[in-house]
A = this chain, B = another copy of it.
Amino acid sequence: MNADQREIGGIGAHMTIDRLTRSDAVRNRERILDTARVQIASHGPDVSMLEIAKAAGVAVGTLYRHYPAKTDLITEIIAEQIDALATTIEQVVAKVESGGAVAHLELRRLISHILDLAAGNPALKTAALALPVDTAFAQRAQRTFTALDRLVAIGREAGTLRPDLSGKDVALLTCTGPRDLGAADRERWLALVWPGLLATSDLASTQEGRSCSNC
């Protein structure tokens, strides 16, 4: 799974010689990350480090060896999440650019997906807000915005999306979307918001919502 030569210092680790990294250390680091992901998702970012450690089958000291402060742990987890989302969006863009899908429909699906993600992890945004503002998040978020912008631009040019819509708009909406509510409320929310993103709200309304005869 993980070979001998792996990163250890997080984002910008570089040292003259990559001395050995013990296998148990790598294993524990992964266990901690996996556990923390789940714990934070279900119990919020206020889970104690002790509980995370216990759930990971590791002592607190070990946890602190890998992440000198709780902030570091949470930062890494959020960074993961952002990267995953960016990748997803980029894949969607690629699919649309290759003609394999329609921009505005994919955008709707994407928003729905993001809402689901947020709902499965209601505490993430809270956690992110509690973090220092100038971390490595900016560039990661930028990647997300860029991809979103691309997708929106295609839809705009196709005439299906609102002429003045931007990727930032979509981010604005999804970031403020419901996080602590059930699937029904999320769907309703999208049904309410969606028309505002279209060039003409009577067209292209694919799913529920207002009365629409031809779709």
Interface residues, chain A, CB within 8 Å of chain B?
Answer: 126, 129, 162-164, 169, 172-173, 175-181, 185, 188-189, 191-197, 200-202, 210-211
Contacts and interface: CB of A to CB of B under 8 A. Distances in A.
A49 to B, nearest CB: 19
A42 to B, nearest CB: 16
B196 A192 contact: yes
Contacts of A185: 172
> How many chain copies?
2
Nearest to A125: B180
A72 to B, nearest CB: 21
B193 A162 contact: no
A169 B202 CA distance: 20
A200 B198 CA distance: 13
Contacts of A197: 192
B210 A189 contact: no
A201 B192 CA distance: 12
Contact of A173 (B162, B163, B189, B211): B189
Contacts of A178: 172, 175-176
12 contacts: A172-B189, A173-B192, A175-B178, A176-B176, A176-B179, A192-B193, A193-B193, A193-B196, A195-B201, A196-B201, A200-B201, A201-B201
B196 A169 contact: no
A7 B163 CA distance: 57
A176 B172 CA distance: 11
A173 B173 CA distance: 10
